[in-house]
Structures are given as structure tokens and as C-alpha cells.
Amino acid sequence: MPGSGRPESTMDGGGVVRPTMRDIALLAGVGIKTVSRVINDEPYVSAATRQKVLGAAHQLNYQLDMAARSLRRAGQQTQSIGLLLPSVANPFHGQIHRALGDVLAAHGIAVMAASMDDDADREQAIATSFLRRRVDGLVLTPIATSQGYLAPYSGALPTVFIDREPHGIDADAVVSDNAVGAATAAAHLISQGHTKLAYFGGRADIQTARERRRGFGEELGRAGISVASIPFLDGLQGEDSAYIATRNLLTGAAPPTAIFSAQILVTWGVMRALKDLRLNRTVALVGFGDFTLSNLTNPGTTVIAQRPEHLGRLAAERILARMNGDRQEPRTYIVPTQLLPMGSGELPPP
């Protein structure tokens, strides 16, 4: 009844009740014109209101029609995809960008890339900006705690996650074998005779960092080394913080004889400190992530190579498959890591 506040759903030809924009407006507590603006992806709607409307549409199972209207009008495609990466300062992400772009360019698809600067608040804003530009798909490295904001588009927008798995949405993901790679690093240092190790990690709220910490710790346990006896320095955000932490640890009481650094920028900070302290040929080092000229340092830097070019190519293949109608259940594709011994990780304990 009019004025009752109850949804006024319609019925399709098959007798199935279908929600309307009025239903969404009632549930979201906004006007029908606002719902129309969101569904048609028009500007001048706040992020909070847009999310409220999308959430109501998803709750009412309206998202497929909405996505079809806003993303696939008249079957049009823009021959472009949006790529969201955590930080362009990290060469790992640059290599992913290049590999993915090379594959897609061969198919006439342009890549629009953006850096989130490891800021979770920017993730949804940038993703929404790409949607307004009607990209044909998204490839992103998630940093926010949930990617549920993309759920309303899941039926019409091909999406692939790279380097980290998503939360709040089911989609393909292409990731490194982080725990196994970190365990391999620990096993390698232990095999050289080291028992006094240290772990240098990035942000603990990021999935890859947690997996690397877990793999490293589990390998210590298998070797009979107490995790409690090992310094775990988490939360290092870049080269400078890793440099300071390394100097403090190595100039303190009972310094380690070997270090595992779980991220490229952290590895660079550790390397600088070892060189400045003239310990680069004394303290063993294994870093997670290969980088250009890693074999030209003195000694060469032993790394766990992630093969970002493999990650980028596989992600490109998956987004192409989804864009071409692949409807198989989403899955996670794991790319193996590889130990590359180059000198630093083979230094024996003094």
C-alpha cells in the first residue's frame, strides 16, 4: 500500500518477484533519484551514500541488473582495465605492471594503473573511479580489510586479485607461495649453521607479511629453534625504518648472525646498515623478493624470488578469460617461489 513503507517489488514474466529502485531507496533511506544516480554511476554522490545504496541493492539481490546497466550498456566495452597497486616505489609492483600490460596490449587492451600508496582508505575510492570510467575489468592488490564493496558488481565486472587474496568477495587471485618461501629462507640459513637469526617484516596487517612470518616461524620450530629466542621486528615501513632497526639490533646485546628480510624495501634498508657497519661480509642475509642488480652487491644478495613477471602474466590471462566469458568457480592460483643463492645467504656464522 502507498505510504506503508513496504517495498513495492515488481514481478517478471516468470512469476519471480524483482526488486525495484523504490525498494532500494526505502531500504537505504534515500530518494529514488539518488538510487538512479548510483545505479547509472553518475557523479555528485558521496562515497558513504553510494556505499549505502550499493549495499541495499546487494541485499535485495538487485546487483546483477544494476551492474549490467552501469557497466555493460548496449554491450559496449572500453578495451581497458584498471590496475590498483600498493606502491609504485616498490620495484616488485612495477614488474607486475609491465608483465600484465605486455600481455593485455597484445589483445588491444589498455591498462590504467594507480598507486594506493599502501593506504587502505584509497582503495575503494580509486576502484570506484575506475568503475566510473567504465573499465572492462579490475586487477588489484587489496590492502583494505574487505573488498565487499565490489560485490554488487561481481556478476558483470571481471575482477582478479594479485599478490594478496581478497576478503568479502569471491574472485580469482594470483599469489606467491609466501609461507613456503619464508620457510625456505629459514631452512637455508639454518643449513649454513646459523641458530641466532632475526626476522625483519613489513606491516603485520597485510596478508603476505603474516604468511611470511608464519612460514619462517614454523621452519624454526621444525629445526628445534625456539621462536621466543628470535627477534621478530614487524611493522617496518620502508627502507629507512629497516635501516634504523638493523643498526639498533646489530649494535645491541647478543646480535644475530643471520637476518631474513621479508620485503624488498626492507631488504634494501638492511643492506645499507650492514654496509655502513662493515658487517656485510659477516652477517648472513636472505631477502624475500628479487630485485635488479641483486647479484652485483658485495657479496651478492641471496633472495627468495617471487617471479613478479609470472604473477603479472597469469593475472592478465585470468582477466582475459573472465572478460571472454569464463564462468568457472573462482580459485586462487599459487606461483612457487625460488631460492637464488648469491653469496649473502651463504655466509657462515663467525
For 160-194, what is each residue's pLDDT tens digit? 999 999 999 999 999 999 999 999 999 999 999 99
Q: Are residues 198 and 342 in the same domain?
A: yes
Q: What is the CATH number for 142?
A: 3.40.50.2300
User: Does residue 2 lie within any of the structural domains?
Assistant: no
pLDDT at 174: 97
Show the domain range for 104: 78-175+309-335
Torsion of the alpha carbons at 102, 167, 114 and 319, rounded to the nearest 10 = 20
pLDDT at 69: 47
pLDDT at 14: 47
Residue pair 139/84 in contact by the 8 Å Cβ criterion: yes
Tally of domains within the chain: 3
For 83-123, what is each residue's pLDDT tens digit? 999 887 778 898 999 999 999 999 999 999 999 887 888 89
**DSSP 8-state secondary structure symbol assigned to residue 34:** H
Please state, in angstroms and rounded to a whole number, the distance separating the CA atoms of residues 333 and 349. 37
Cα angle 304, 345, 204; round to 5: 50
**Alpha helix positions (H), 106-206:** 120-132, 178-191
Q: Are residues 214 and 342 in the same domain?
A: yes
Q: Are residues 185 and 276 in the same domain?
A: yes
Phi-psi category of 81—alpha, beta or left, where left has phi over 0 and alpha has psi -120 to 50? Answer: beta
Please state, in angstroms and rounded to a whole number, the distance separating the CA atoms of residues 316 and 54. 28
Residue numbers of the chain with a pLDDT score lower than 50: 1-16, 63-75
Please state, in angstroms and rounded to a whole number, the distance separating the CA atoms of residues 164 and 151. 17
pLDDT at 18: 67
